[in-house]
Each structure stands twice: as C-alpha cells, then as structure tokens.
Amino acid sequence: MASGTFGVQVVTPERTLLSGAAVSVVLRTSTGWLTVLDGHTPLIGAVVPCEIRVEQEDASVVHLAVHGGFVEVDTSPGAAEGLAEGDGPLAGLSTKVTLLVGIAELAEEVDAERAERAKEEAEARLSELRGAHRGAQSAEPEAAGQREDLEILAAQEALERAELRLGVARATTA
C-alpha cells in the first residue's frame, strides 16, 4: 500500500547530493518526462540532461541540474530501509528512487555568474563555427567537414549545459 512518501537518493562519483524522503521526483529520461510517486512501477532508465525536481514531505522542492546518468525505481519490500534522513532510516518505506549521475548540482550551489559566462562563450563559439562552416568551400575534404560538425555539436552541448545550470539556479529565485 502506497504511503505517499518514498526514499530518494542522488549520487555522483564525488558525493551523495540528496538522501531522504520525497513525495515526488520529476525527471527526463531517454524516453520522455517521468514523474515518480510512491508505489511506482520498478524501472531502470537513462537520464538525459535536465532539471530534476524532488518534492519533499514539507512541500519544499529541491532543484538539481543533472547532465545525464541513470535512474532506478526499486519497489522491493524494504527498499528504502537504511536510507538516512537526518535522524535515522526511512523505516517501512518500500519504494526507493536512486539516481546515479556523473555531474549534478543542487540549485543553490550553481555559480550563476560562471554559468552565464559559459553560456556567452558557448554562444560566441557556436556563432564562430557556424560562420566558418557556411564560408567553407564545397571542395573541402569530408573528414574536415565532419570535424567541424563535431565542434558545432560540442559547442551546442556546452550551451545547453550552461542554459540548464542557469535555469535551475533561477528556479529557486522564482
């Protein structure tokens, strides 16, 4: 029987960013947006870069910028046992969401000025690359064209990361 509350843990290689109870987790997977509630169907999936929103029992929302990883929803009996939340384990909870992510930041930890600079640099690089790509001669060797395409893709991804970080930082001030 669903109690409305479940365990959630967000783990990076460096540290555990979040560990405790939640009433919902909203994230984007490779197949689309997903909202996890207590008693959700078990699953394992790929998380794509997105803002993750974790609603806690007191109705506060934790915002995280996540740049990809994996999610597991475990509903086996006692799945959340031993998941520390301040003063002890989450006794009796049987749903646990674990997010294993390579890079993630809590909204309050995002350096908005740095993210804004990264966004401006990525926009400038993208504009430069697109201008050079348009000006290139059609007789250009195929390998050079592919390299330029990869550089454009890398600049677009850098821009998306910066915009994600800025969006998450602004979510807590809105």
Q: Domain segments of the chain: what residues?
A: 6-109, 112-171
Q: What is the DSSP string of 50-73?
A: EEEEEE-TTS-EEEEEE-SEEEEE
Return d(Cα 60, Cα 108) in angstroms, integer.
14
| Residue 86: predicted pLDDT | 42
pLDDT at 57 over 80: yes
- pLDDT greater than 50 at residue 43: yes
Q: Name the CATH superfamily, with its identifier, for domain 6-109.
A: F0F1 ATP synthase delta/epsilon subunit, N-terminal (2.60.15.10)
Q: Are 22 and 6 in contact (CB under 8 A)?
A: yes
Higher-pLDDT residue of 131, 29: 29
For 132-174, the pLDDT digits (tens) are 656 554 545 555 567 777 888 888 887 788 788 878 888 766 5
For β-strands 96-101 and 6-11, DSSP reports them as parallel
Rg (CA), the chain: 20
Assign 98 a pLDDT band (cuts: 50, 70, 90): very high
- Tallying the residues shown for the chain, one arrives at 174
Indicate the pTM of the whole model.
0.73
